[in-house]
């Protein structure tokens, strides 16, 4: 059930531009977005570029920097994401509608933030222009997104620029994915309707199956209640109860097939120390992510996607408000585009890290916030240094009391394992982290959680890449074959 409050954009006619769907590289996709946004800024409008998630925002910012793109105002685009400090968010919302401003906005903010334009010059030159870079889930979300402009009788305009890689659920990987009349809006709407209808019918079928099993369970429980004392139940009563419970426990045929074949989605997240001492490990990960995905696909029958993520953490300076370049933990959210992930890893520079310990807690914090959805989930922490806190090591530490933001490493691992059902493994380089792992696993025992397995991958160069590839592939394959057969 959806309820909607009508937005104000209908008071003005929203100018909608033709939807563009690009079957090109990610850089071409980003270049098209930048070109459209820069054009509107040059004309005097404010531009909101609405991107799928924070990972896409970061990749777009990297593209802007790598290509030397410069806004008409000479400023870098603003960002409005969950990473934006609470104290800064309202100010960013106000600044985003200023004359020639460009703001990169994540999907949640594109649906629910009130971007009211108070800038006379912006209104004079056409108001706020939206660039939506993904296809909305449904008409409701589309109306919410478009409602960010044409507010309070102001002018405004909107367009969609979409990458085919983001439309695979609508069949963009099939040869017939092209509108016969070049009308992408109509074509995508029809494809989405088929997709949503199929999902709805599947949900109805599942509900029907589970109601049957619920009713069988109710029958068995009612019979047990009738007998009151099971010790006095007749053999016929026992047979009836056992039969009903047995029938209720059998999975529907389609679910039996799915379980027999394997998980619909396998997820692999790398959380890596990317400070100065880790350059060889970054290169090893960069060179093996594609091979890891291919190996996993080859060894197990994954009935869907292999999604991979990469989180690069570094460290705080002597001031906990200042973080090593690029200024915060760098995240590539889950993607099934392995080239995209490889490009993200390739952009990582081994830098920072003044004292011995590093910001492992920050890396795990971002891992906990990823959009985990797979049935087989794996996190690989790769590090040569412990986290902050004197109880984890015997080194000099700028923050001997522990993580300066208040996170507790062992609690984070227990949450990942017990609450988020993630298989966690530590791939260590050297022995500086041994004391830390003892603390973590003792806490896991105390909380009746699975321990974090630790494996040394100390060799450098090609051997390091081979070790990384073998450990990750073997771990994932073993987990899937154990739990989905």
The pLDDT value recorded for residue 5 is 47
Q: Could you tell me which residue, 7 or 151, shows the higher pLDDT?
A: 151
pLDDT tops 50 at residue 9: no
Q: Could you tell me which residue, 188 or 220, shows the higher pLDDT?
A: 188
pLDDT tops 60 at residue 43: yes
What's the pLDDT band for 168 if we cut at 50, 70, 90? confident
The pLDDT value recorded for residue 3 is 46
> In the 8-state DSSP scheme, what is residue 416?
I
pLDDT tops 80 at residue 160: yes
Q: What is the pLDDT of residues 402-412, one digit of tens each?
A: 998 888 999 99
The pLDDT value recorded for residue 390 is 93
What's the pLDDT band for 373 if we cut at 50, 70, 90? confident
pLDDT tops 90 at residue 161: yes
Partners of 267 in the beta sheet? 307, 377
pLDDT tops 70 at residue 251: no
Least confident segment among 234-238, 365-369, 389-393: 234-238
pTM of the shown model: 0.53
153-158 mean pLDDT: 86
85-94 mean pLDDT: 86
pLDDT tops 60 at residue 247: yes
The pLDDT value recorded for residue 258 is 47
376-400 mean pLDDT: 92
Helix (H, G, I), strand (E, B) or coil at 338: helix
42-69 mean pLDDT: 88
pLDDT tops 70 at residue 243: yes
Torsion of CA 298, 299, 305, 310, to 10 degrees: -100
pLDDT tops 90 at residue 323: no
Partners of 307 in the beta sheet? 267
The pLDDT value recorded for residue 48 is 95
Q: What is the percentage of the chain residues whose pLDDT exceeds 90?
A: 33
Q: How many CB atoms lie within 10 A of CB 298?
A: 9
Element (H, E) at 222: helix 184-227
Exposure b/e, 393-404, CB count within 10 A at least 16 = b: beeebbbeebbb
Q: How many CB atoms lie within 10 A of CB 431?
A: 10
The pLDDT value recorded for residue 230 is 62
The pLDDT value recorded for residue 353 is 64
The pLDDT value recorded for residue 285 is 74
Least confident segment among 152-161, 276-285, 457-466: 457-466
The pLDDT value recorded for residue 460 is 58
pLDDT tops 70 at residue 192: yes
pLDDT tops 70 at residue 262: no
| Helical packing angle, 184-227 and 235-249, nearest 10° | 160
The pLDDT value recorded for residue 103 is 94
pLDDT tops 80 at residue 261: no
Average pLDDT, the chain: 84
Q: What is the pLDDT of residues 431-476, one digit of tens each?
A: 999 999 999 999 999 988 889 999 988 755 567 778 888 888 888 8
Q: Could you tell me which residue, 303 or 259, shows the higher pLDDT?
A: 303
pLDDT tops 50 at residue 207: yes
pLDDT tops 60 at residue 252: no
What's the pLDDT band for 155 if we cut at 50, 70, 90? confident
The rounded distance, in Å, linking the Cα atoms of 13 and 184 is 21
The rounded distance, in Å, linking the Cα atoms of 485 and 483 is 6
Report angle CA 95, 100, 106 to the nearest 5 degrees. 55
At 307, phi and psi to the nearest 5? -105, 140
Residues 6 or more apart in contact with residue 225 via CB below 8 angstroms: none
The pLDDT value recorded for residue 231 is 66
The rounded distance, in Å, linking the Cα atoms of 363 and 439 is 18
Q: What is the pLDDT of residues 103-140, one digit of tens each?
A: 999 888 777 677 888 899 999 999 999 999 999 988 88
Q: What is the percentage of the chain residues whose pLDDT exceeds 70?
A: 89
415-443 mean pLDDT: 92
pLDDT tops 50 at residue 257: no
Least confident segment among 86-90, 118-122, 415-419: 86-90
The pLDDT value recorded for residue 260 is 44
């Amino acid at each position: 059930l959806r309820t909607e409050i009508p937005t104000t954009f209908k008071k003005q006619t929203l100018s909608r531009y033709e939807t563009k769907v690009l079957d090109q590289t990610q850089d071409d996709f980003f270049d098209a977005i930048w070109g459209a946004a820069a054009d509107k800024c040059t004309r005097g409008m404010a531009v909101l570029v609405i991107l799928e998630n924070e990972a896409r925002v970061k990749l777009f910012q990297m593209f802007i920097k790598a290509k030397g793109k410069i806004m008409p105002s000479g400023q870098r685009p603003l960002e409005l994401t969950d990473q934006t400090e609470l104290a800064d968010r309202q100010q960013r919302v106000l600044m985003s509608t200023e004359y020639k401003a460009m703001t990169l906005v994540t999907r949640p903010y594109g649906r629910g933030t009130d971007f009211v334009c108070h800038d006379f010059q912006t209104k004079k030159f056409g108001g706020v222009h939206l660039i939506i870079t993904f296809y909305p889930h449904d008409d409701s979300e589309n109306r919410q997104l478009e409602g960010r402009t044409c507010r309070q009788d102001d002018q405004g305009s909107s367009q969609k620029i979409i990458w085919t890689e983001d439309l695979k659920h609508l069949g963009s990987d099939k040869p017939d994915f092209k509108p016969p009349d070049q009308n992408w809006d109509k074509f995508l709407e029809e494809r989405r309707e088929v997709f949503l209808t199929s999902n709805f019918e599947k949900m109805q079928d599942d509900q029907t199956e589970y109601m049957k099993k619920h009713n069988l369970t109710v029958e068995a429980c009612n019979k047990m209640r009738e007998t009151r004392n099971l010790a006095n139940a007749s053999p016929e009563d026992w047979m009836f109860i056992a039969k009903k419970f047995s029938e209720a426990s059998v999975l529907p045929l389609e679910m039996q097939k799915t379980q027999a074949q394997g998980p619909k989605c396998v997820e692999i997240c790398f959380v890596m120390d990317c400070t100065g001492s880790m350059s060889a490990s970054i290169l090893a990960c960069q060179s093996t992510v594609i091979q890891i995905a291919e190996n996993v696909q080859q060894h197990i029958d994954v009935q869907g996607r292999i999604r991979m993520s990469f989180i690069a953490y570094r460290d705080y300076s002597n001031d906990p408000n200042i973080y090593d370049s690029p200024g915060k933990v760098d995240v590539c959210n889950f993607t099934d585009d392995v080239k995209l992930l490889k490009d993200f890893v390739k952009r990582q520079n081994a830098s920072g890290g003044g004292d011995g310990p590093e910001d492992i807690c920050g890396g795990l914090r971002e891992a906990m916030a990823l959009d985990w959805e797979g049935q087989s989930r794996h996190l690989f922490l790769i590090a040569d240094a412990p986290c902050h806190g004197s109880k984890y090591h015997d080194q000099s530490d700028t923050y001997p009391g522990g993580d300066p933001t208040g996170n507790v490493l062992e609690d984070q691992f227990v949450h990942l394992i017990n609450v988020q059902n993630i298989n966690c493994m530590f791939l260590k380089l050297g022995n500086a982290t041994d004391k830390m792992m003892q603390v973590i696993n003792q806490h896991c025992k105390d909380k009746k959680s699975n321990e974090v397995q630790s494996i040394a991958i100390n060799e450098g160069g090609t051997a390091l890449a081979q070790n990384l590839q073998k450990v990750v592939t073997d771990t994932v394959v073993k987990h899937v074959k154990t739990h989905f057969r």
